[in-house]
Structure formats: C-alpha cells, structure tokens
Chain A
Amino acid sequence: MPSVKISSALVLALTAGWETTALAQQSPAEEKAAGAKPRLALEMPKPTQGHYLALGLHTLGAMAFDDGRGTRPPTFGTGFSLRLGEAVTSWLDLGLAFALGSTSGKEEDSLSLGRFTVHSQWYVSDRWFIQAGFGATNGQGADPEDLELNRGRYGDVYVAGLGANLYLSDGSRSGGWVLSPVLCIEVGPDSDFTTAAAWLGLEVSWWSGLARDKLELPIDEAYE
C-alpha cells in the first residue's frame, strides 16, 4: 500500500502522546463492529511490575498436633523463603513459593518444615497486601518415644499472610527493589499429624518491570 500523508493535527496528537486515539480515528466503524479487540490499556509505571524474585528471612514459631504422641508445644526457630512469579494485574501477583524452616527446643518438640506452594499476593492498597497460597508440605520432628526416629507427614498445606511494600528504588519507574515485612500463617491439616506455623520476616524482592510497549510513558521515553 502506498504511503499517504497524514494531517498535522494528527501528527500533533501523536506527538502529544495520544497515539491510540489518533490512530483509532482512522478505523472505520464497520471494522470495529466486526468484533475487533479493544485497544489495550497500558499501565502507569510502578515498582511492583513484571516478574519478581523474592528472598525472605523469617523467624518461625511452629507446633504440631500428633495424634499418636499428643500435641507438641510451640517451638521457635528460623526459616527462609523464596518466591518467584509475576504481577498479573495491578492488584494480583501470582507465582510459586518455597519455604524451609526449623525450630529448636526440646528435641521431641522441635519441627522441620518445608513447603512448595502456589502463591498469590492481593493488594488492598498501593502498599498493603494479603497473601494466600496452597500446595504441598513436609513437616516432621523426632518421635518422642524414640528420638532416633522421625514422625511427620507429607501432604497439603495452606498459607495466609499480611505484608506491606517499602519501595527501595524510584517509585516512578517500572520495576526495582522492594522490601516487605511479612507475617504469614501456615496450616498442614492431617488426621494423624497436623502442623501449624507462623512466619514473621523480611522479604527483599527484585522486580523486572514491564517492557516499554506495555507502559504509559511520556512521548520521549515511549519512542526511545
């Protein structure tokens, strides 16, 4: 198709960053009516965009309800977490999470916990979020009746948490570093060996940000 000159008004509109509308004006109504997809809404840049990788260090309190040996009282220790995923919308992050931790105390009371979950993070404001996840866990501790043996379970686990984002990098850029204090609770229900734990810690996350074509940018940046 040969090129045609476009109006200066249109050029001015494009230069002003109104490109979507400017081009849309030239689409015949019939084409739109035929079911063309809507133009995409671009996002304003913010740090928590794109893919993320988060590392966390936590203090951990855990207990178990052991059907055969009675309840193990809470013991405390440390754990770490690794999360990776993506901001799916401005209010939802979705990904995978791994966490490992152990508690110390009386040998017959202490526990080791590990979990692999589908992890979601729901933003209730720009800063605050709640977490929810489910997946598989392995929780075990020494058998109180024979400390050489282990008792525990492999099974399902459910996680709920609360946290806030503190932006370490420029808040007007897409992607960057974020520090998040997080409190979460996990429960691994089982008829024989139920585990419950609370994790309180700090997560440092790196966000890749979105590509330029997905961002609402000033004209000079958009056409860099």
Chain B
Amino acid sequence: MTRAPRWSCCWCWSRPFRGLPVVAGLLVSGLARPALAQPSAEEAEPPPPDSGAPDPTAQPDHALTPPKLVHDVQPRYPEAAQKEGLAASVVLEIDIDALGRVENARVVEPATPSGYGFDEAALEAARLLEFEPAREGSDAVPVRINYRFRFVPDVRPRALHKTVNASATSAEPKATAPTGQLWGTLRERGTRLPLSGVKVTVFRGEGTDAEGYETETDAEGRFRLEALGVGSWRLLADPDGYYPLRTTEKVAKDSRTDVSYSIERSSYNPYDVLVDVKRIRREVSQTRIDARQAERIPGTFGDVLAVVQNFPGVARTFGFQPVGGGPVIRGSAPEDSRVYVNNIDVPLLYHFGNLRSVLPVGMIESVGFYPGNFSAEYGRATGGIIDVKLKDLKPLKFGGYADVNLFDSSLFLELPITDELAIAVGGRRSYIDLVLGAALADTGDTITAPRYYDVQAMASYRPSPAHQLQTFFFLSDDVFKILFEDPVAADAETLISDFGFGVNFYRAIAEYKYVPDDKFESELKLSFGRDLQDFNAGLQAFTHTRLYQGQVRETARYELSGALALRGGVDYLFQKYRQQARLPELPQEGDGNAEVDLSAAVLTNTSETYHSSAGFAELELRPWSGGLLLPGVRADHFSRTSEWAVSPRFTVRQKPNDQWTLKGAVGLFAQEPPFSDTAAQIGNPDLGLERAVHYSAGFEYQPLPHLNLDVTGFYKTLHDLVSRTDQVVSRDGEAQPLNFNNGGEGRVIGLELSARHELTDKFFGWVAYTLSRAERRDDGAASYRLFDFDQTHILTLIGSYRLPRNWEISSRFRYVTGNLYTPITGTVYDADADQYQGIDGPVNSGRVGAFHQLDVRIDKRWVFEKWMLNAYLDIQNVYNRANADGVQYNYDFSESESQQGLPIIPVIGLRGEF
C-alpha cells in the first residue's frame, strides 16, 4: 500500500561558485515529528559569511531562489512494512539540474528499521520528481538538496482513499450535522499587535472520523471558522518564529464561540523592527547608531545618547561635568562641538554629570556623529557634530513604557489618533537629590543635588504620503544647590554659605516635510527656545543668563539625474542674550592650577541681540562609476563679531569595488567665541571668529557582509582661538584689560580605526581606537603645549550577544591614556593668608596612570499577556580598577595622591513596556 508522501521544506543558501553546481542544503521532508522535521537553527540560518554566501536581502540581484516541486511522486509503501504498520523516514541527497530534473539521488539518512525496502522505494520515487529549477537572479542553476520521505502506515485505508489530494477543497460540512462557529483573534503576546497571515487549523477525530479545517488570520489578526461540527476541536497555530498555540475549544450548536489568543515570539529583539534607511554619506567620518541598539550598551544605563562617548574620536571626559560638559571630539574643546536635535541647535545633550541625556529613548530614532569634515549643512562649530534624529512617529497602537532606575524614573506614551495623526508624550524626574540628601543629612548641609527633569511632547500629522507635519516640544531642567551649615572657604579671603547652579531650557520645533517624488524633497523647520543658566557661589559670585533663540531652516534637495543632485538651504538663528553677572576671572583651558579669586569679582550687565544667517549648497556628483564628489560651501554671517565666514568644503568617496571605499575631505569651519568670552569687562567684546581647517583621508573595507572596517587619518589646524592675554586697551577713554584675544592656535593629528560588526540575529559590536595628539599654543607662547583633554590612546571594545529566553549580555572595555595635569613644582608660604601656595610647573606636563575599565550589562525581558518587563543589571568597573582622574596635594604640597574614579557599581533598572 502506498502513501502520499507529505513534505515540507527548509533550506540554507549557497550560490554558484565559478560555475560549479550549487550545493544548497534543502531539506524536504515528509510527515515527520517536529523534532525530526524542524530545521535546527544552523540549518535554517544563512551560512557563515566566509562561505561566500551573500545575505539574500543584501544582494537581491543575485538572490538564490530554491527549486520548487512541480511534480510530486508518491513512493510505493513496502508491503511488509505496511503489514506490520511500520513507519520510517528516509533522507536523500538529490542533485537537480538547471532544467529541474533529478540527476542523481542517494541515501544520506537510511530508514530505520532497515531491510523493509524504504530506501529503495524513496530512491525510485525521487528519480521521478520534477522541479522548477533553482535560480540565481534570473538564471536557472543546478543545486543539491536534501529531501526527506516520511512513510506513515495507513491505519484507516478507507478514510485515506477519500481524502488523498483533498487538501485544498472548500469546506463543505455535512448538511445534516449540527454546526457552530469559532471566531477568534490572534495577537502577539506582550505587544498586543495583531498577527496577520497566520494559519489557524482545527482538527479532531481519528480514522474515518478524522476531519480538519484551516483558515488564515486577516490584517487585524482575526479568523473565522464557520460551520464547524459541534463538539471539541483541537486548535493549532504555529507561525514561524513563535511558540505554537495548541489548545482545545468547544463549539456549540447554532452558536458562535469567540476566542482570543496571544502567542509568544521566540525572541523579543527590539532590533527586529529596525529600518535601514539608505543615506548618502556626505562625510568622511560618520557613525550612526540606532537608538534601540545604543541603549543596550553597558555604561549607558539605558541612555541612548550616552553612547556617543564610545565613538571613535571622542575623548573620555571625567569627573563631575556641570553645564556645558559636552564631549571632547578630535581634540576640540567641548564648546567647539554642536548638538542638534533634527538639525535644530540645543545647548546641551546631557543632564548634570553626563549620566543621563535630555531626551528619552522612545522619541529617538538614531544618533548621528560627525567628528570632523561635516557637511556644509552643519555650521557654527569647529569641532564635531552630534545630530539626534527624532523618531518618525507612527505608532501602531497605544503604547509606551515606564522606566525606573537608580537615577530617575521616566514615562513615555504614544498614541495613534487617526491613520494620519499620532502623538507622544514623555517625562523624567531624577531622585539623586533625595538619596544624597539622606546620605549627607548628618553633615548638617542641605543639598539639592543634582536634581533634573525633562518633559517632551510630539505630534505628527501626515495627510498624504508627500506631506508631513511634525511638532516637538521639550523642556529640560537641572538644579544643583547646597547650603553649608558652616560657611566654607572659597579662597584665602572669602567664605561662602551656599553654592548652586542650574540650567533650564526648552525648544519648540515645527517641521514640514514635502517629498512629492523621489527626485525632490524639502524640509522647513522653525524653532523657538529659551535657555536659562544660573550660578552662584554665595553672594560673592553669580550669573543670571537668559538666552532667547529662534531658528528658521529650510533644506531642499533635487536630483537632476542619477549623476547629479543639488542640495542647499538657508539657516537663520536669532539670539537675544541677557546676562547679569558678578564674576571673577575664570579659569580657561590651559590655565593649569589657576584658582578663582572671588574677591576680584566684577559686576556686569549685558543685553544684546544677535543674528546669525547662513546659506549652504552642496552638489552630489557621480561623474564615474563608484565615485561620489561632494563639493559644498557654507556662508555664515555673525552679527556678534560682525564677520562673514565663507567655508568651502569638499568630500570625495570612491568605491573601486563592493568591498572598498576610499575617501578624503578638506574644509573650512568657523564659530563664534563663547558668550562669556565676549562679555564686557570680564571678556573682550571685540573678539573675532574662531576658525579651523579639517583634513581627513582614509578607507572603508567590508570583508564580510556584517563587518565594516574604517580607517581615517585626520589633521586639524585651529586658528584665531580665544586666548588669555595681559594686554591693556583703551575703552571709553579708560585703560582696561583686554582679557582675551584671538591669538591662540591649535593643531590636532590622529588616526581613527573602527571595526563594526553590524547587528545580526545574535551579535553586534565594535572596536574603536583613536591615536591622537592635540596641542595648543597660547597667545605669545613660543611653543605648543598639550591640550587639556589630550588622550593619546583611546580604545573601546563593545560587544552584545543575545541568548535564548530573551536574555542579552553586553560588555564594554575601555583603555584610555591617563589624564593630564599641571604638576606643582614649588611652594610659597603666604603669611597673610596663613597657607601655602603652589607654583605651577609647565602646563599639562604631568599625566596620571592609564584608565581602563570593563563594564557588563545583562538584560532580561519577561513577556506577559499585554505588556513586557525588561530588567537590566549594569555593572560598571567590573574588576574594580582604581583609575586615577587627577592629582591632589596636601596642605603644603609636599605629598600628592591620585583622585580616584568610581569603584565597582552594580545598578539595576526596570522598564515596563506595553
């Protein structure tokens, strides 16, 4: 007795290699137990990259299409086996030629038990099979597959005769039998998203009574099984990548049974939904990371923007970073780099201490990082650019998250109002002040430290595919304040009773994006914001700063042909700056161990309005195969310095083949000096622009589909830097100290190397190494000295690996050359103040020991019916390295010891998502 073999398929990929037959592992099996028929993960995943096999999604032009069975043949069932009711399976290796014919077949997994003729029957049948040939692209190619025949004894011959080949007949329940309906909904467990296109099968009975029906869920995850016989039915839904739904339902006569199921995905990888946006690379050096990837990196405590500190070219900043403590990029001071949110300038990226950023992960799509030679669309900076791209708000359901960790708690909600309109809100509040306040209660001091909060609101309206309007508002507030029970000495002559500073800023951004076709796109952005900065050290020194800022920005791109596109725009920035201050001379970069003399504080009052207008244009030329030329120019006018800055920039990229890219760039960059340096009396209102020239060259190499190497050498010269001077000038008939001039210079040279393993099913990671030397020459100095943040070697290793059951382990290792300091080479006893004063040696001539640290992060996600809980343990400084951040001296400077960084710190955080 023969049985109609049923078969299922799974395969892995391989493409022809120099004309040889393709060897593809196509497993075609008959009815088999799941454990036998299921492919192992290794079988079903793409082969290892070194096999030369491409990712089919990456190279669609050469994708391999497997052979398709067009003529099935039922093997004869060995008579003796049928009589004894024996079942068996046989796996054959079959060569299929380019015409789809079976060229050869051999047994690779013989039947058990042997001797009944299963192998022979399978070989006979296999030679008669016919396939639609496998194809690579459009070309038919020969392949080798594995094919399994499963022999199932016919225990109910009559029933089988009735139903063979009846698998696609319409349901025709017996007219006389009582029936009912089974309606249901299938959703994904945890996310509540409907599952569409999933087969739902019901079955029951044995032998002649065996019956079954199947249907498929619609876009809303709904399915309907009509006219089912009354009684119990077993129900099965087993979509790929999900655990199976297996349950029993009862159908009652002339009634409808409504059911709702949720099934669990094998892995709730947040990266599964990543959208790879193809961008034209306009920069020689660019790092872009998706938000959901960034938040898993150890040491970030789940904060997306903290990942910037791990990019090549970024120095390790240390200690407590108050306002303005941004990243040090390629040897540039923190204030020389700009932070943008959707191309709109924001004053700071992080709350106090650089631990937490001012934006929540729920609203961030990606973080772009441009350490130098950035496009002409960016300006007003001589260092680097961090551009945070906000999420294109398109929620499928009402959802969000609540996050609780050591530092703060946050909430994020998003809601689709209509198909065109969606909104999202978020907020965060820290409670470090409460913890520290309790810890320091015994000292008698009152501390509000550091307390921060931020709130956000976003709305997106897309009336048609060509038009999109998005608004975004966010507010950030940081306060640090301490009241001393006993006033402390700020310097030799001054006692202060309290100390505090705070930053509060908001931005309201409106964007209109118009993309009528694939040749033209336009983005108009309007923003308004206010920055408040307050500082006080008792009554002796204070600042109250208000900055109102408005910005209009229009960018358009038109593609004239495949070889030429033009991109250009205008950017206008309005600033109204007000400051009341009582400040002494503040230490600048390169001042060594200079101390603040509060008794010399000067009272100033500034109120000015500034305008900064810019236009930029850039061509995208593809004059030859693989070549991309990006000549651009940016013209800025700054009313504060009454200067124009015309900044031509040029980038070239050449791809000699799919794996290599050569690149180079040169460009001019300019920025205004900080407000504090142009303030009257304590600064110099006549300061001019600071300027820089960036050079960079390098190559990118992609040896494997998921591996990218990037080597970039850079050289940067800095001109007209603000530098301290002892010169005196006459203003309004009075001799006044000039304080600062544009006499400083700088140069930075370095090499960045990064190797990045893009996200695959289980792993992502990168290595970033920077070798650099950053120097400055102050006004009047004969020679260069090292820049305060010069760090010769910066090495960062990051890896993240996903385990089953929604576990993920990530680690980060960093090695950084030790920080610079200015040693004290002598002392003087000040009898009046009754204290020793140190005498500085050469500025930045000392260096503390190297910094190295390992951080580990473990994430675990629990999936519940309608929500998910993610817990993480972020362990900083796993091996408790006593890293030195600086040097401190005893009272007479006769002894010194290092200021040590943080010890091992385990931090637990929780996030609930729904």
Contacts and interface: CB of A to CB of B under 8 A. Distances in A.
B807 A86 contact: yes
A3 B235 CA distance: 13
B211 interface: yes
A5 B7 contact: no
B906 interface: yes
A213 B171 contact: no
A29 B218 contact: no
Contacts of A32: 9-11, 66
Nearest to B208: A8
A40 B68 CA distance: 24
Nearest to A37: B241
Contacts of A33: 11, 56, 64-66
A92 to B, nearest CB: 8
B39 A1 contact: no
Given A10-B167, A223-B248, A156 B880 contact: yes
B169 A18 contact: no
Interface residues of A, number: 65
A168 interface: no
A30 interface: yes
Contact of B31 (A21, A39, A213): A21
Contacts of B621: none
6 contacts: A1-B218, A10-B167, A29-B68, A37-B44, A38-B240, A213-B246
Given A18-B34, A213-B263, A118 B873 contact: yes
A42 B35 CA distance: 8
* Interface size of B as a range: 35 or more
B309 interface: no
A8 B34 contact: no
Interface of A: 1-30, 32-33, 35-42, 86-89, 92, 94, 96, 116, 118, 134-136, 154-156, 190-191, 211-214, 216, 222-224
A35 B56 contact: yes
Nearest to A13: B31
Given A40-B242, A88-B803, A6 B214 contact: yes
A3 B214 contact: yes
Smallest CB-CB A-B distances: 3 pairs = A38-B44, A37-B241, A24-B8
Contacts of B830: none
Contacts of B165: 7
A210 to B, nearest CB: 9
Contact of A40 (B45, B225, B266): B266
Given A29-B68, A33-B65, A134-B878, A20 B214 contact: no
Contacts of B201: 6, 14, 19, 23
B166 A7 contact: yes
Contact of A27 (B8, B37, B67): B8
Nearest to B4: A9
Given A5-B213, A9-B160, A86-B807, 10 more contacts: A1-B216, A3-B214, A9-B6, A13-B6, A21-B32, A21-B33, A23-B236, A25-B8, A94-B807, A211-B243
Contacts of A9: 3-4, 6, 31, 152, 160, 163-164
B211 A24 contact: no
A134 B858 CA distance: 12
Contacts of A27: 8-9
Contacts of B205: 11, 15
Interface of B: 3-4, 6-11, 29, 31-41, 43-45, 56-57, 64-69, 150, 152, 155-156, 159-160, 162-172, 199, 201, 203-206, 210-216, 218, 223-226, 234-236, 238, 240-248, 263-264, 266, 803-805, 807, 856, 858, 860, 873, 875, 878-880, 882, 903-906
Nearest to A154: B903
Contact of A38 (B3, B38, B858): B38
Contacts of B11: 32-33
Contacts of B10: 24, 32, 38
A142 B570 CA distance: 71
B160 A6 contact: no
A223 B16 CA distance: 45
B762 to A, nearest CB: 13
Contacts of B878: 134, 156
Dominant secondary structure of chain A at its interface with chain B = mixed
B240 A4 contact: no
A170 B41 CA distance: 30
B9 A21 contact: no
B30 to A, nearest CB: 8
A14 B206 CA distance: 10
B31 A18 contact: yes
A22 B202 CA distance: 13
Given A8-B159, A224-B248, A20 B34 contact: yes
B225 A4 contact: no
B225 A8 contact: no
B395 to A, nearest CB: 24
Contact of A118 (B169, B244, B875, B879): B875
A206 to B, nearest CB: 17
B213 A118 contact: no
B215 A19 contact: no
Contacts of B40: 38, 41
A211 B150 CA distance: 30
A9 B74 CA distance: 14
A11 to B, nearest CB: 4
Nearest to B69: A29
B171 A223 contact: no
A92 B67 CA distance: 39
Contacts of A4: 167-171, 213-215
A39 B163 CA distance: 27
Contacts of B171: 2-5
A83 B694 CA distance: 55
Contact of B163 (A3, A7, A30, A222): A7
A88 B903 contact: no
A26 B168 CA distance: 10
A116 B878 CA distance: 12
Contacts of A26: 167, 199, 214
B202 to A, nearest CB: 8
B246 A222 contact: yes
A154 B875 CA distance: 14
B873 A29 contact: no
A84 to B, nearest CB: 11
B29 A21 contact: yes
Contacts of B241: 36-38, 40
A32 B29 CA distance: 14
B36 to A, nearest CB: 8
Contacts of A29: 9, 66-69
Nearest to A50: B805
B778 to A, nearest CB: 40
A88 B34 contact: no
Nearest to B167: A7
B203 A118 contact: no
B38 A3 contact: no
Nearest to A15: B206
Nearest to A17: B33
A1 to B, nearest CB: 4
A18 B35 CA distance: 9
B351 to A, nearest CB: 26
B92 to A, nearest CB: 17
Given A3-B224, A118-B875, A25 B34 contact: no
